[in-house]
A and B are shown apart, each in its own frame.
Chain A
Amino acid sequence: DVKVTQSSRYLVKRTGEKVFLECVQDMDHENMFWYRQDPGLGLRLIYFSYDVKMKEKGDIPEGYSVSREKKERFSLILESASTNQTSMYLCASRSHRVTGYTFGSGTRLTVV
């Protein structure tokens, strides 16, 4: 089975801190994604990447950046965390050949 691993299940950070969320997948998928999920708003796409060093903005990229130096790893960076970035963050990957996503188990980030 494809496995998508997110480095932390729960994180608590202070306002203004730089935060790194790491995601690793083990099935050589080309495409990787970062979403945030909030009650009543569903999943919203922050950034995605379709190849190493390639990145595309999603629907809500403001306040975030990403890095994809290796195919298996996609990092989400909160440059200066704010309380409105408290959320569940979900990483996902998919192959060009297979249309469905596989999600990581999520990181619940609280910014205080």
Chain B
Amino acid sequence: RKEVEQDPGPFNVPEGATVAFNCTYSNSASQSFFWYRQDCRKEPKLLMSVYSSGNEDGRFTAQLNRASQYISLLIRDSKLSDSATYLCVVNVVGNQFYFGTGTSLTVIP
């Protein structure tokens, strides 16, 4: 079983739509959670950390559900510039990080 699983998509949504991605993790001892964004042929960049109480950064909202072992990312009012692959990252302890394979999002004019 993979440590982190994501729906690869692709998600194709119109501008202005709301879209949500989920990511499940297998290790209940996981401590920290992140969403990264990766543009085509570029390196991943940290989008936001995910906190237990949920957190928001502008149009982006991240949630953590420890009981069901998943994290989510909600993007409101999608922009063309949001088109990218979104990677879920889970830190178990220390330098043990696990990456999902990514969810591809295309925002269509």
Complex Cα gap A106–B8 (Å): 22
Instruction: Say whether chain A's binding surface is mostly helix, strand, loop, or mixed.
Output: strand
Q: Would you call A42 and B102 a contact (CB within 8 A)?
A: yes
Contacts of B100 in A (CB 8 A): 42
Interface residues on A, range: 20 to 34
Q: Which one of B8, B46, B102 contacts A100 once the chains associate, using CB atoms below 8 Å?
A: B46
B contacts with A: majority SS: strand
Residues of A whose CB lies within 8 Å of any CB of B are 31, 33, 35, 40-43, 45, 48, 50, 56, 90, 99-106, 108
Listed A/B pairs (23) with beta-carbon separation below 8 Å = A31-B95, A33-B95, A35-B99, A40-B8, A41-B101, A42-B87, A42-B102, A43-B99, A50-B95, A56-B95, A90-B43, A99-B49, A100-B34, A100-B46, A101-B46, A101-B89, A101-B97, A103-B43, A103-B44, A103-B45, A104-B43, A105-B42, A105-B43
